[in-house]
Amino acid sequence: MSKYIPIQKAIAKGSGNVNIHGWVHRERGSNALKFVVLKDSSNLIQCVFERGKFESQWSEIDKLQVEAALEITGTLKKDERAPTGYEITVESFKIVGTSENFPIAKDQSVEFLADNRHLWLRSRKMTAILKIRDTIFTAIHEYFHKQGFYEYHSPIFQAVQCEGGSELFSVNYFDKKDVFLSQSWQLYAEPAIFALEKIYTIAPSFRAEKSKTSRHLTEYWHAEMEMAWSQFKDIYGHGEKLLKHVVKRVLERNLPELAILERDPKKLEPTLQKPFVKMTYTEALKILKEKCGMEVEWGKDLRTIEEEKLTQLYDVPIICTHYPKKVKAFYMMEDPKNPETVQGCDFLAPEGHGEIIGGSQREHDLEKIKARLRLQGEDPAQYEFYLDTRKYGSVPHGGFGLGVERIVKWICGLESIKDAIPFPRTMERYKP
Ligand code: ATP
Ligand code: MG
């Protein structure tokens, strides 16, 4: 076992001899003393080098710069003036990796930080976001396993499209022309509900998004679920319970990280405490008109700006249902009461964050789904394997997809989705 303990553990110990290792977060020095704030993945602590103890090594100590890696043995004591309330008087140390002129300093431009993303990941902000991201992934796995879902995996190379052709990335697959990167697992998930009934995944999805928005990436992590024997209300019921579980876990585990991000946890509490707001698309148009002065023609999809205005009215997510059939995918089931609309739902996060989940009850009748495909200009013959799901023991079923970075953006209160993933990919940004 390593003799080194996390800085957070050292702080919890409160006093005495400790061994820690980490990287220089800040440093300043005088002729007689050098102060180094050391960080590791757990926290920061101030360490003091006294010249009297290290005369022969003083030039090395004096030269220590931001991001140098150190092992330190020393004596810990409380010190109100230190950044995390404790200080270590260094007794012995080893410089494991030197660092010179670390490029990232205060107040650098967004572009500069994006070019140096590999280094910016070490910042306190990114470290906090990455920890919350970890909690969210873990919570999604926990939720689905607790609810009796199996984790299942679909291919990333796919030969059929699910969410519309214009956003497909084609791949040079041994010179074949009809291979694309997955936009969703759905067409490959539905065949598996006949084996496992309740399944979920967290996997990358790819969309050739040409628009520059604060919530679209070209590569994002997609948590998707599909279940047999469902009714529409089961689908959005799981969406609501899943989001509550995720927020609960973040509030249990990540208050220090939310504080680093200056994200007020009180803004997330209503999501735990209150039922989500449920409205139909038609009701949403009415509210947009009456409360936001925005007129949307029935039949048009809600745009980002409309979602933003609508969600600013609430402190919990909105479950918006029964969108017009013509703006939604071919597999969404018509509403028997109004066949111009579908049993589909979008979850819209509060405070202007917008869509985080899209889901639906699926059309399970073979002839109806073929007709919907033709209506969208598709050739049902291309979907032969998929249509077998409606031939051999078809059952009512449904599912949803959740953009994990959208959840990270909302929970962390980020301006842009780009900070919700370590190396964001957009139309313009694919390096480093
Ligand atoms: P939007 O209207 O925001 O483009 P969509 O209707 O295309 O979303 P779906 O096809 O329903 O989205 O995908 C399911 C979920 O995947 C969305 O609710 C969202 O959380 C997430 N998502 C979709 N596209 C992206 C993207 N480009 N980047 C990040 N997340 C995305
Ligand atoms: Mg889209």
Can you read off the two tokens belonging to residue 51? 């010249």
Shared domain check, 183 and 66: no
- Per the structure, the count of domains in the chain is 2
Is pLDDT of 67 > 70?
yes
Shared domain check, 384 and 345: yes
Shared domain check, 93 and 121: no
Confidence of residue 162 (pLDDT cuts 50, 70, 90): low
Residue 106 belongs to some domain of the structure? no
Shared domain check, 140 and 50: no
Give the residue whose CA is nearest to atom 7 of ligand 1. 163
Is pLDDT of 161 > 80?
no
3-class state of residue 222 by DSSP? strand
Is pLDDT of 96 > 80?
yes
Give the domain CATH number at 32.
Answer: 2.40.50.140
Shared domain check, 400 and 344: yes
Confidence of residue 377 (pLDDT cuts 50, 70, 90): confident
Residue 166 belongs to some domain of the structure? yes
Q: At which of 97, 132, 151 does a domain end?
A: 97
So what's the pLDDT on residue 212?
A: 80
What is the rounded average pLDDT of the residues 18-25? 98
Q: Which domain holds residue 80?
A: 7-97
pLDDT per residue over 37-63, tens digit each? 999 999 999 999 999 999 999 999 999
Can you read off the two tokens belonging to residue 309? 């205005």
What average pLDDT is seen over the chain?
95
So what's the pLDDT on residue 177?
A: 84
So what's the pLDDT on residue 163?
A: 58
The count of C-alpha atoms lying within 13 angstroms of the C-alpha of 195, restricted to the half-sphere facing its C-beta, is 9
Q: Is the CB of 358 under 6 A from ligand 1?
A: yes
Q: Is the CB of 239 under 6 A from ligand 1?
A: no
Q: At which of 97, 124, 148 does a domain end?
A: 97
pLDDT per residue over 346-370, tens digit each? 999 999 999 999 999 999 999 999 9
What is the rounded average pLDDT of the residues 266-282? 97
Are 389 and 194 a contacting pair, CB within 8 Å? yes
Ligand 1, atom nearest to 358 Cα: 11
Shared domain check, 127 and 92: no
- Could you tell me the distance, in angstroms and rounded to a whole number, from the CA of residue 402 to the centre of ligand 1? 8
Compute φ and ψ for 355, nearest 5 degrees.
-60, 130
3-class state of residue 42 by DSSP? coil
Confidence of residue 160 (pLDDT cuts 50, 70, 90): confident
Q: Which of 133, 205, 206 to mutate to test the pocket of ligand 1 (most atoms within 8 A of CB)?
A: 205
Q: At which of 97, 127, 152 does a domain end?
A: 97
Q: Tell me how crowded residue 242 is: count the other CB atoms within 10 A of its CB.
A: 24
Shared domain check, 273 and 369: yes
Rounded to a whole number of angstroms, the distance between the first and last alpha carbons of the chain is 35
Give the domain CATH number at 327.
Answer: 3.30.930.10
Residue 351 belongs to some domain of the structure? yes
Q: Which of 161, 213, 406, 409 to mutate to test the pocket of ligand 1 (most atoms within 8 A of CB)?
A: 406
Are 385 and 191 a contacting pair, CB within 8 Å? yes
pTM listed for this prediction: 0.96
So what's the pLDDT on residue 159?
A: 87
Tell me the C-alpha distance between 235 and 225, whole Å. 9
In the chain, the percentage of residues whose pLDDT exceeds 70 is 99
So what's the pLDDT on residue 235?
A: 98
Shared domain check, 416 and 268: yes
Residue 431 belongs to some domain of the structure? no
Give the residue whose CA is nearest to atom 10 of ligand 1. 163
Shared domain check, 251 and 312: yes
Nearest ligand by distance to the CA of 358: 1
So what's the pLDDT on residue 351?
A: 93
What is the rounded average pLDDT of the residues 236-262? 98
Are 400 and 235 a contacting pair, CB within 8 Å? yes
Shared domain check, 397 and 322: yes
Tell me the C-alpha distance between 431 and 422, whole Å. 12
Residue 181 belongs to some domain of the structure? yes
Residue 427 belongs to some domain of the structure? no
Residue 428 belongs to some domain of the structure? no
Residue 2 belongs to some domain of the structure? no
Is pLDDT of 164 > 70?
no
3-state SS of the chain is CCCCCCHHHHHHHCCEEEEEEEEEEEEEECCCEEEEEEECCCCEEEEEEEHHHCHHHHHHHHCCCCCCEEEEEEEEEECCCCCCCEEEEEEEEEEEECCCCCCCCCCCCHHHHHHCHHHHCCCHHHHHHHHHHHHHHHHHHHHHHHCCCEECCCCCEECCCCCCHHHCCECCECCECCCEECCCCHHHHHHHHHHHCEEEEEEEEECCCCCCCCCCCCEEEEEEEEEECCCHHHHHHHHHHHHHHHHHHHHHHCHHHHHHCCCCHHHCHHHHHCCCEEEEHHHHHHHHHHHHCCCCCCCCCCCHHHHHHHHCCCCCCEEEECCEHHHCCCCECEECCEEEEECEEEEEECCCCEEEEEEEEECCCHHHHHHHHHHCCCCHHHHHHHHHHHCCCCCCEEEEEEEHHHHHHHHHCCCCHHHHCCCCCCCCCCCC
Q: Tell me how crowded residue 384 is: count the other CB atoms within 10 A of its CB.
A: 10
**DSSP track, 102-171:** -S--SS--HHHHHHTHHHHTTSHHHHHHHHHHHHHHHHHHHHHHHTTPEE----SEESS-SS-GGGPPB-
Q: By CB neighbour count within 10 A (0-12 exposed, 13-18 middle, 19+ buried), where does 93 fall?
A: buried
Q: Is the CB of 163 under 6 A from ligand 1?
A: yes
Ligand 1, atom nearest to 401 Cα: 14
pLDDT per residue over 173-187, tens digit each? 999 888 999 999 999
Tell me the C-alpha distance between 277 and 74, whole Å. 54
What is the rounded average pLDDT of the residues 76-98? 96
- Could you tell me the distance, in angstroms and rounded to a whole number, from the CA of residue 66 to the centre of ligand 1? 39
Shared domain check, 181 and 281: yes
Shared domain check, 82 and 221: no
Tell me the C-alpha distance between 240 and 226, whole Å. 15
So what's the pLDDT on residue 198?
A: 98
So what's the pLDDT on residue 94?
A: 98
Tell me the C-alpha distance between 349 and 358, whole Å. 12
Give the max Cα distance, the chain: 86
Is pLDDT of 90 > 80?
yes
Confidence of residue 70 (pLDDT cuts 50, 70, 90): very high
